[in-house]
Structure 1
Amino acid sequence: MNLKKLHEESSGVQAKTIFSASEGKVISLQILKNNRLKEHITKVPAMLLCISGEAVYEDENNTKISLVSGDFTEIKPDVKHWVDGIENCNLLLIK
């Protein structure tokens, strides 16, 4: 299975759960160039891993992290954050 085949080319931002465990899940995200995963808050700790392309993670604490293939960042609970697609990108959200 390939992450890119999980998503349609036409939609700017997509999320699909690809694995659910008894205490968490893994979500495949696709964000196309110049699209944004709008600001939101997670209630549990999470990790965002860039598989391909380029994205920028930002949060309300003025954290700004550029992510390219292989890069990852921790997402803290109860912190408003968002992600911008700089280039078409595929990411894994693990929580």
Structure 2
Amino acid sequence: MADHLAHPVVEGATIVDGPVLVHSAFGDAYRIDTRLGTTTLREWFTDHDGVVVGVGLMYADGAETSVTSATVESMLTSWSWDVAPVAG
């Protein structure tokens, strides 16, 4: 998380919100909003059985973010977690 916050996804990107701890049906995650011109990249990062999963949503100015975030969170709850054990 610290590395992600220290290095913008592209030159000129600005983190405008986060990290914010989000509690939802898919578990705890950290959400970060990054401004890219007239677009915002909203990302969720969660750890499941030692694997970090990141999901992103891009939206333009004026988008209804409560609806888009709810859609992403409901999509994440439908995922099944099946991580193969690491040998050794």
Question: Structures share a fold, TM > 0.5?
Answer: no
- TM-score relative to the length of structure 2: 0.28
Higher relative contact order (CA 8 A, sep 6+): 1
Q: Which structure's residues are more often strand, by fraction? A: 1
Structure having the higher Rg: 2
TM-score with structure 1 setting the length: 0.27
